[in-house]
Structure 1
Amino acid sequence: MTHATRQIRLDALAYGGDYNPDQWPEHVWHEDVRLMQEAGVNLVSLPVFSWPQLETSPGVYDWAWLDRVIEVLWAGGIRIDLATATATPPAWLVRSHPEMLPWDSDGRRLEFGSRQAYCPSSPVWREHVARMARAMAERYGEHPAVVMWHISNEYGDHVSRCWCPESARHFRRWLEARHGDLDGLNEAWGVNVWGQRYTAWEQIEPPRRATGPINPTQLLDFERFSSNALLELFRIEVDVLREITPDLPVTTNFMSLLRDLDYWKFAEHEDLVTDDAYPDPADPNAHIPAALNYGLMRSLKGGQPWLLLEQAASAVSWRDVNVPKAPGRMRLDSLQAIAHGSDGAMFFQWRQAQYGQEKFHSAMLGHRGEASRTFRETAAFGRELQRLAPVKGTRVRSRVALVVDWDSWWGSSAAESLPSQRLGWLGQARAWHAALHALGHAVDTVRATGPFDQYDLVVVPNLYIADATQAAALDAYAAAGGTVVVGPFSGVVDATEKVHPGGAPGPLRELLGIEIDEPWPVPDGAAEQIELDGERHAAPVWTEWVEASAEASVIATYATGVLAGRPAVTRRAHGAGAAWYVSAALDADGLVAVMRHALADADLPARDRIDPHLEAVTRSGDGTDYTFVLNHGSADATVDVPAGAIDLLGGAEPEPTTTGRARLVVPTAGVAVLATPTAAEPPFITLSETTE
């Protein structure tokens, strides 16, 4: 679901970062603005963690310092993403109301001393959050420097679930609203197993640590409730801000593909999707899951541009080993996010802290000030970014989508009583995306109910929880000419964790033309194989006993073990399209082989030569395609590109060839942004046959 949204008032791509002026003496503020101007900064986020400095005791406010900061920034031409300062409570509030502190699943209260020291369900916390948001809006909502509201900070980062008595009361109210009465709850939870019938609402507690495996439906409902509790908290501030400042957009910074919060639902209530992204510089393949994260961000509001609100200029401070970004890596990471639909590149943080938990987290302006490498690189990139002004507001063109479903993620990971704990939803999603990425496609994400109409191929790595509505949407999509590919352990249970009659794939049975007799997980240390096109591929985690109907063609079979000779991958023609089922969790080569077949079935191109470090993404608008070609590898890449393409970044000009295409060398950590007239299909970038 998408709504008309308010737009951020910036004439250029956003560039800047979190600013913490309350950590520095006032004379530094003026120096900061001078250096921000030199670096091309046009937007900063503040005062994210400054509630105690703004409200020094209950009802006693000190606005003067923030007034001065805002005026200094405004005079310097810097716009502000103004935080409501509700990211964490002040100590005076916690000590006055210790009951608002969160509990863990062992029933222990978590102490004040870090951040997010609150129970999301606490009425005290909710009341004070609404009051603080109102105070901020009334004081600064009409200031011309303020272009966006920044609500809280990274919901769920430290406290995404709470097991305290207040959460228990809220959980019961939520359950009553969902299930109606105790009979409805007992039926939904299947309480006749292990004697868990409830006769009063007060008997129900959050699923704290118990004597053994906990009811899986109780666990699933608690996941849903916990996500919704934080959504309720978010909406309290949204409602206040829209009442007082109806023209200002609101956001809260997401944390990429985060298990604990259903971002589809959060995005419905904000104007601009923003994300905090920290791919690990020590991982040469970190750009691949980052691309999936960004595919989610641009898809949450139907393809609308989003904003990278936080990234690191170099090292972070919270990994066991915090590796700095090599020269050029910050630029490459920033341009990857912009390629995938971000209308800017922001950082945590502007000036590197001298004390506290994040003093070793890098910043645009490092500890050495102007002499720091991060400042030299971020300042140079800020100037370069101005060349990409035409990209602002354009949208990514993708013909492939991957289904992201939080219910299935929660259901297939929360319970202890599953056939295997090795088949993780996130791992499957990343593996399927990585195969499509290697074959040359930028991948959007989509709900299991669609809409799918703009895509030629929809992949469903796992839909453990499936219902008739989702099945009908996928069925209609395939019947209309789409190609859908469904992964293992899908269509297993309904929304109450009951196995569908007849077993998997439940409501997907008719679409796929198969039945699953039994899941057949692979023991640790072993691996089965499938055979596809005469080649064998490993299935090290999961296989299934598949019964294929006469309407389903067997594309690949199991080659080893008890299942040898049985169907492993099937395809059923359906209307004008087709539905595939992949019953095994395959290794990388096997997934590439299967996805190559699926792309061909959908009449989509695929790279003959695979290089996961070569990425190409096209944004389009106003009659122009802007194709970002990014080389994440350690060697130069020579690629074939459209003839007549112009690199907005002023790199080497593509060289014409006799094939009607042009050839371009993209150096290691290099990026080209190629402008061409909008074509019916986005440019498809491949490695040149003469790559050295």
Structure 2
Amino acid sequence: MSSPRWLRRAGAPRLEFGADYNPDQWPRAVWDSDVRHMREAGVTIVSLAIFSWAKLEPAPGEYDFAWLDDAMDLLHANGISVDLATATASPPPWLTAAHPEILPVDRLGHIIWPGGRQQWRPTSPIFREHALRLVEAMATRYASHPALVAWHVSNELGCHNVYDYSDDAARAFREWLRDRYVTLDELNDAWGTAFWAQRYTAWDEVIPPRLAATHPNPGQQLDFKRFSSDALKDYLRAERAVLRSLTPEVPVTTNFMVMGETKGMDYADWATEVDFVSNDHYRLPGPQSLDELSFSANLTGNLAGGQPWFLMEHSTSAVNWQPVNKAKKAGELARDSLTHVAHGADAVCFFQWRQSKAGAEKYHSAMLPHAGADSDLFRSVAALGAQLASLADLAGTPRTRARAAIVFDWTSWWASELDSHPTDRLRYRQEALDWYTAFLNLGVRVDVVPPSAPLEEYDVLIAPILHVVPAELAKRLDAYVTAGGHLVTTYFSGIVDERDHVWLGGYPGALRDLLGIRIEEFAPLLDDETATLSNGTTGSLWTDRIDLADESVEVLAAYETGELAGHAAVTRRPVGDGSAAYVSTRLGPDGLAPVLGTLLERAGVGSELPSDLRGRVELAQRGDFRFVLNRTDEPIDITELGAAEPTLAARGVAVIRA
């Protein structure tokens, strides 16, 4: 990706700092207090009008912009830029009442009624007509406003409406399939409809994978996931087209949700549709919470091609939507924020500025909490603002590429977790995260990249559960290894092509010859089953009965228990100066560490950290700036890294300039 268009504004580069701002939730008298406290905190930007459609257009075609004019002018007068939302995220009640046919339908045929948010079909022509009319009105009115630095299309597209099974969706799905396959014969071949007498003889017979008597067709399911991501992308393009026609100089973005198990949108495919990548991220509880934060920030930075990106939302403290919503500990607000900056974010923003007093998110933390400015939380916010201001010369600096990468593929994520598979316990993202944690524990920097990235620039590639391997990708990986690269892949990889058709001849299919192994049958494990390996680690979830098909293949670890005792569990095939390795079971972060350590050593890739800091801190780099992030709740001596302060506080971050 070439350098993206960043925010439209004058002045020296800086790291932006701010939040979603919802002045329409508050009396006008509160606004002056808001901007005064924003200036105290060092706020430079806000995202405005995200959920304001009902206030902006109280009746069809009747607009009330006076309040928004006032807010825009007030913010500009106080030196605060505006990332202006198109306000189309949630339609007003008058629209859903007049046109209930815009409401989404779930796979059971139930209508998703108003009362929450995003109650609209991505493929609804009626919704699009009304939404684009609002976008045009807003772009026309604010095109030359000096506060406007970027357009914010909708909000978290697909968060609640990615899968719609309505008649509108069915019609759009058929058109998408016509474009993809051209003929019914090609569609029938792709979906394997000879099975269970599913052959289609007319396009009108094709429907989304609604509730069926038994397992829906897997090809139909996979293509519906692709279509659903594309339908939202097409909607993004429609809003973008209006904005670019009226305000061509103002960059356009929309906030992704690279976090947790949010997987319906193929963000690797979306990244080129925006002028700069934006992301929302919220910490999830659990032992890998901090690692997942870093993983998501890392992936977002690489979706942006290593260029600066915009952290549009995260939380200052507790959220409101988990079963138990715990406040953040001292230092976590800054550490979370700076982890994103370490991986390329040039903007740090929160949901939201002022904590709501009513509504579904009134217990969600904010920059200005219910307790007001006289609070530890607000003081922490202001301290972060000052710290970001001190790092202004970091702005625009790209991420520094690591020597190793984890390949993250949305299509494999979707396909590997379909039903009617050897196990329904497999979790694609969890396996990728486990490898990432193993890298962190070894103190080795690693990138998280989509398959479209320049893979040949890495010395080591980890491709966990790379389930879908089209012929072209198989050729790229073969060429990578032949040229001296070191590939590591895992169980259930290389199994199918892009149509979800099995590569015949034995597993791991498209990667079988490259790995030098052959597997006749899968051997998934029951919940209470494990497998002990000769290197002292323990596998779960999956095993494979591996036959060595090439005499050069090394067995790095074998199974010691169960029916597979004596058979290879981890293999490595040297190929010239390169290699191709296979891990046949889920080892978890602790079990992966020794395996990964061996493979990295063979590839000549090591840690840039002193041995006593490995696993205790994360090291990330942007140009001449090294970020050292304390992963522990204890202070750490980092004298050896040349930091200005020798002691890194618990949950602290040091930024070391070369």
Category of TM-score, reference length = shorter chain = over 0.9
Partner of 1:595: 596
8 Å contact from structure 2 (residues 3, 307) kept in 1: no
> Mean Cα displacement is larger for which, 174-183 or 162-171?
174-183
8 Å contact from structure 2 (residues 331, 650) kept in 1: no
Partner of 1:58: 60
8 Å contact from structure 1 (residues 83, 149) kept in 2: yes
Which whole-Å deviations, capped at 9, do the CAs of 1:538-591 have from their partners, x for residues lacking one? 111111111222132221111111111111111112233111111111132220
SS of residue in 2 equivalent to 1:349: coil
Partner of 2:629: 630
Q: 1:314 aligns with which of 308, 312, 317?
A: 317
CA-CA distance at 1:312 after TM superposition: 0.8
Partner of 1:545: 545
What letter corresponds to residue 164 of structure 2 in structure 1?
C
Is 2:410 aligned against 1:402? no
CA-CA distance at 1:611 after TM superposition: 5.6
Partner of 2:564: 563
8 Å contact from structure 2 (residues 335, 629) kept in 1: yes
Q: 1:146 aligns with which of 148, 154, 165?
A: 148
8 Å contact from structure 1 (residues 292, 433) kept in 2: yes
Partner of 2:486: 483
Which whole-Å deviations, capped at 9, do the CAs of 1:163-218 have from their partners, x for residues lacking one? 11111111111112111121111111111111111112222211111111111111
Is 2:20 aligned against 1:8? no
Partner of 1:641: 640
SS of residue in 2 equivalent to 1:395: coil
SS of residue in 1 equivalent to 2:74: helix
CA-CA distance at 1:333 after TM superposition: 0.9
What letter corresponds to residue 586 of structure 2 in structure 1?
A
State the alpha-carbon separation in 2 of the partners of residues 609 and 218 from structure 1: 51
CA-CA distance at 1:129 after TM superposition: 2.1
Q: 1:252 aligns with which of 254, 257, 275?
A: 254
SS of residue in 2 equivalent to 1:599: helix
Is 2:287 aligned against 1:288? no
Which whole-Å deviations, capped at 9, do the CAs of 1:388-437 have from their partners, x for residues lacking one? 112111122222211111111111112x2101112211111111111112
State the alpha-carbon separation in 1 of the partners of residues 598 and 243 from structure 2: 50
Partner of 1:584: 585
State the alpha-carbon separation in 2 of the partners of residues 13 and 520 from structure 1: 51
8 Å contact from structure 1 (residues 449, 469) kept in 2: no
> Mean Cα displacement is larger for which, 392-401 or 64-73?
392-401
What letter corresponds to residue 668 of structure 1 in structure 2?
A
SS of residue in 2 equivalent to 1:41: coil
State the alpha-carbon separation in 1 of the partners of residues 330 and 414 from structure 2: 39
Partner of 2:270: 266
8 Å contact from structure 1 (residues 449, 473) kept in 2: no
> Mean Cα displacement is larger for which, 580-589 or 76-85?
580-589
Which whole-Å deviations, capped at 9, do the CAs of 1:443-481 have from their partners, x for residues lacking one? 322232441133221110111111111111112222222
Q: 1:516 aligns with which of 504, 515, 519?
A: 519
State the alpha-carbon separation in 1 of the partners of residues 508 and 475 from structure 2: 14
Is 2:374 aligned against 1:371? yes
8 Å contact from structure 1 (residues 6, 247) kept in 2: no
What letter corresponds to residue 245 of structure 1 in structure 2?
T
Q: 2:233 aligns with which of 231, 234, 241?
A: 231
State the alpha-carbon separation in 1 of the partners of residues 65 and 87 from structure 2: 13
8 Å contact from structure 1 (residues 154, 255) kept in 2: yes
**Which aligned pairs between 1:141-540 and structure 2 lie closer than 5 A?**
141-257=143-259, 258-280=262-284, 282-283=285-286, 285-397=288-400, 398-414=402-418, 416-532=419-535, 536-540=536-540
1:640–1:562 Cα change, 3 Å: farther
State the alpha-carbon separation in 1 of the partners of residues 71 and 583 from structure 2: 57
State the alpha-carbon separation in 2 of the partners of residues 449 and 266 from structure 1: 12
SS of residue in 1 equivalent to 2:155: coil
8 Å contact from structure 2 (residues 288, 437) kept in 1: no
> Mean Cα displacement is larger for which, 249-258 or 344-353?
249-258
> Mean Cα displacement is larger for which, 470-479 or 44-53?
470-479
What letter corresponds to residue 649 of structure 2 in structure 1?
P
Partner of 1:688: none
Partner of 2:88: 86
1:273–1:641 Cα change, 3 Å: farther
CA-CA distance at 1:641 after TM superposition: 3.3
What letter corresponds to residue 500 of structure 1 in structure 2?
W
8 Å contact from structure 2 (residues 440, 614) kept in 1: no
TM-score, normalised to structure 2, is 0.96
State the alpha-carbon separation in 2 of the partners of residues 45 and 568 from structure 1: 51
CA-CA distance at 1:526 after TM superposition: 1.1
State the alpha-carbon separation in 2 of the partners of residues 425 and 646 from structure 1: 38
State the alpha-carbon separation in 2 of the partners of residues 245 and 646 from structure 1: 45
8 Å contact from structure 2 (residues 627, 656) kept in 1: yes
Q: 2:109 aligns with which of 95, 107, 110?
A: 107
1:338–1:346 Cα change, 3 Å: same
State the alpha-carbon separation in 2 of the partners of residues 609 and 587 from structure 1: 23
State the alpha-carbon separation in 2 of the partners of residues 97 and 254 from structure 1: 28
SS of residue in 2 equivalent to 1:486: strand
State the alpha-carbon separation in 2 of the partners of residues 165 and 452 from structure 1: 41
State the alpha-carbon separation in 2 of the partners of residues 410 and 639 from structure 1: 42
What letter corresponds to residue 516 of structure 1 in structure 2?
I
- The gaps in structure 2 that reach 5 residues or longer are none
Partner of 2:37: 35
8 Å contact from structure 1 (residues 285, 613) kept in 2: no
Partner of 1:673: 655
CA-CA distance at 1:122 after TM superposition: 0.6
SS of residue in 2 equivalent to 1:531: coil
8 Å contact from structure 2 (residues 318, 325) kept in 1: yes
State the alpha-carbon separation in 2 of the partners of residues 396 and 521 from structure 1: 39
What letter corresponds to residue 382 of structure 1 in structure 2?
G
Identity %: 45
What letter corresponds to residue 47 of structure 1 in structure 2?
A
Which whole-Å deviations, capped at 9, do the CAs of 1:92-112 have from their partners, x for residues lacking one? 111111101001111001101
State the alpha-carbon separation in 2 of the partners of residues 4 and 637 from structure 1: 37
Which whole-Å deviations, capped at 9, do the CAs of 1:22-72 have from their partners, x for residues lacking one? 011112111111111111000000010001111111110111110011000
CA-CA distance at 1:283 after TM superposition: 3.8
State the alpha-carbon separation in 2 of the partners of residues 670 and 433 from structure 1: 21
Partner of 2:576: 575
Q: 2:24 aligns with which of 4, 22, 27?
A: 22
- The gaps in structure 1 that reach 5 residues or longer are 653-663, 677-692
CA-CA distance at 1:610 after TM superposition: 7.6
1:54–1:168 Cα change, 3 Å: same
CA-CA distance at 1:84 after TM superposition: 0.6
State the alpha-carbon separation in 2 of the partners of residues 141 and 513 from structure 1: 60
